[in-house]
Amino acid sequence: MTGLFWPGDHRAGSLMSESALVRAAVEVEAAWLAALVEAGIAEAADPLVDLVDDADLPALAVDAEAGGNPVIPLVRMLRERLAARNPVAATWLHRGLTSQDVLDTALVLCARAALAEVDAQLVAQAGLLAALADRYRDAGMVARTLTQHAVPYTFGGKAASWLHGVLDAAEDLRRVNAGLPAQFGGAAGTLAAATELAELTRSGDPPATALGLAARTAVALGLAAHPPWHTARAPITRIGDALCGCTDAFGRIANDVLTLSRPEIGELAEPVAPGRGESSAMPHKSNPVLSVLVRRAALAAPSLTAQLHLAAAEAVDERPDGGWHVEWQALHLLTRHAVVAAAQMTELLRGLRVDTARMRATLDASADDVHSERRSLAGLVDGAPDRSGAAYLGAANALIDAACARAQAFLGEHR
């Protein structure tokens, strides 16, 4: 996959890729097989790691159509190849699982890696934004509301507001990442096959053994044990919501940069890099392409997140008939887009150019208009002192201090 349809996709590397998904699915199968052995049900385990590779992806993709998901041909491939070196383990491979167990858990494992990458970018952004907020706390500019000049403001205040958005997104993302669940329910979410295997092999209390298998495998994978969620799709929608919240925060910053980098405003500019922002027809242009691409992700994310919620709302019976299947591509795209946008936003903030002289000139030129609210307030109080020469910034510095303190607490938790 080259990423021509989504410039910058290379920044996501192998995260939430087909290769990563297959590796994760194999990891799930191996962990379950090991749990069967530990429970005294199966007689042999196997790490499975060298049985499939990227060369198998085209065949798996084609064969997935017959059963409707890629786990079915993957299990067949694993079992056939494992039989040559470990026939006993091959016999027990996948026993007690259903394809949705494996794919859901593999998707969660892939999402976990992507969430960790986005989290790292949010940490970097929090530090950069806190520094911008503090450095430019006295850099006067015009506040704009509904596209029009409003009251005096500072760029430090704007950066502090951006910072809160990033921190809000980070808190939501970490909350989701901390509770990512495994999915082990068997054919209809009752762990019937696992319970029956425990009964047949006299492996202790069968229901407790089946539940223990699920819990043990979850722990081995570093995930939370959770009741089967085949048709209760909150684990997936929560991932989507957290990622969409991140692109919301990124998009908000990108929109401001796009507006303020217009030549007629010229208060901000993106970092310069060779070849970036070039036009194929107009040599004079330096397009704010990082902001454009971040905004693109912010515009795409809500519909992909809505697709996940629609799939959750359409879940039916004990296993969904299409609702589950439509999640995979939406989650794949949403995750990779968020990773790319996060990296682009960090680069943008790291090299953001702030023209304080231009900001001040615009503020001074609009001085009469931006103090109209102040004049209207002065008329309410008889004998009010003349404060026309004082700053009209309200509690801006206190708000900046609060944002920076919040960032420091967040960064301290990361350390």
Q: Say if 2 falls within a structural domain.
A: no
Is there a contact between 96 and 60 (Cβ–Cβ < 8 Å)? no
Count of structural domains within the chain: 1
Spatial distance between the Cα atoms of 266 and 286, rounded to a whole number of angstroms: 12
Among candidates 180, 10, 193, which has minimal Cα distance to 110? Answer: 180
pLDDT, tens digit (0-9, with 9 covering 90-100), for 130-188: 999 999 999 999 999 999 999 999 999 999 999 999 999 999 999 999 999 999 999 99
pLDDT at 3: 81
More confident residue, 393 or 387: 393
Helix, coil or strand: residue 266:
coil
What are residue 275's phi and psi, to 5 degrees? 80, -15
| Residue 405 burial (10 A CB sphere; 0-12, 13-18, 19+) | exposed
pLDDT level of residue 204 (50, 70, 90 thresholds): confident
373 within a domain of the structure (yes/no): yes
pLDDT at 43 > cutoff 60: yes
The conformation of residue 80, written as its DSSP 8-state character, comes to: H
Q: Within a domain: residue 358? A: yes
Tell me the whole-structure pTM to 2 decimals.
0.94
How many whole angstroms separate alpha carbon 215 and alpha carbon 193?
16
Specify whether the CB–CB gap between 121 and 345 falls below 8 A: yes
Question: Is residue 191, in this structure, part of any structural domain at all?
Answer: yes
Phi-psi sector, 355: left (phi>0), alpha (psi -120 to 50), beta = beta
From 14, 279, 372, 388, the catalytic residue? 279
CB 225 within 8 A of CB 219: yes
Q: Which residues, in sequence order, are CB contacts of 409 under 8 Å at separation 6+?
A: none
pLDDT for residue 167:
98
- Cα–Cα dist 317/325, whole Å: 15
- From residue 89, give the alpha-carbon distance in Å to each of 29, 48, 78, 86, 203: 11, 10, 11, 6, 18
Residue 86 lies in a domain: yes
Residue 333, pLDDT above cutoff 60: yes
The pLDDT-based confidence of 282 (bands split at 50, 70, 90) is: low
Q: What is the structure's pLDDT at 93?
A: 98
Strand partners of residue 243: none
Q: What is the pLDDT of residues 113-126, one digit of tens each?
A: 999 999 999 999 99
CA distance 336 to 268: 28
Q: Please say if 174 is a catalytic residue.
A: no
Report yes or no on 173 lying in a domain: yes
At residue 51, the pLDDT reads 97
Given its phi and psi angles, is residue 278 left (phi above 0), alpha (psi -120 to 50 degrees) or beta? beta
283 pLDDT band, cuts 50/70/90, is low
- Residue 65: pLDDT above 80? yes
Question: Does residue 365 lie in a domain region?
Answer: yes
* pLDDT tens figures, 341-388: 999 999 999 999 999 999 999 999 999 999 999 989 988 988 888 888
- The confidence score (pLDDT) of residue 390 equals 81
Instruction: Give me the pLDDT at residue 414, please.
Output: 67
Instruction: Tell me which of 383 and 56 has the higher pLDDT.
Output: 56
Which pLDDT score, from 0 to 100, does residue 415 have?
62
Name, in order, each residue with C-beta under 8 angstroms of 320's C-beta and a sequence gap of 6 or more.
Answer: 230, 231, 311, 314
Beta bridge partners of 144: 149
Whether 104 has a pLDDT exceeding 60, the answer reads yes
- For residues 250 and 387, give the distance between their C-alpha atoms in angstroms, rounded to a whole number: 38
Residue 89 belongs to some domain of the structure: yes
CA angle, corner 116, sides to 114 and 119, nearest 5? Answer: 110
279 tagged catalytic: yes
Q: What is the pLDDT of residues 207-217, one digit of tens each?
A: 999 999 999 99
More confident residue, 76 or 389: 76
> What is residue 224's DSSP assignment?
B
Average pLDDT, rounded, for the chain: 95
As a whole-number percent, the residues of the chain with pLDDT over 70 amount to 97
Residues 137 and 397 sit within 8 Å (Cβ to Cβ): yes
- Residue 277 reports pLDDT greater than 60: no
For 46, the token pair is 């196997």
**Which structural domain, as residue segments, surrounds residue 402?**
9-414
CA distances from 281 to 277, 278, 285, 286, 287 (A): 12, 9, 9, 12, 12
Nearest to 109 by CA among 164, 181, 49: 181
Six-digit token string for 125: 């952004």
Cβ 63 vs Cβ 24: under 8 Å:
no
Residues 25/60, Cβ–Cβ less than 8 Å: no
Nearest to 258 by CA among 232, 293, 283, 233: 293
Among 319, 358, 360, 374, the active-site one is 319
- Look up the CATH number of the domain holding residue 406: 1.20.200.10
Distance separating alpha carbons of residues 168 and 125, to the nearest angstrom: 12
For 75, the token pair is: 């299990």
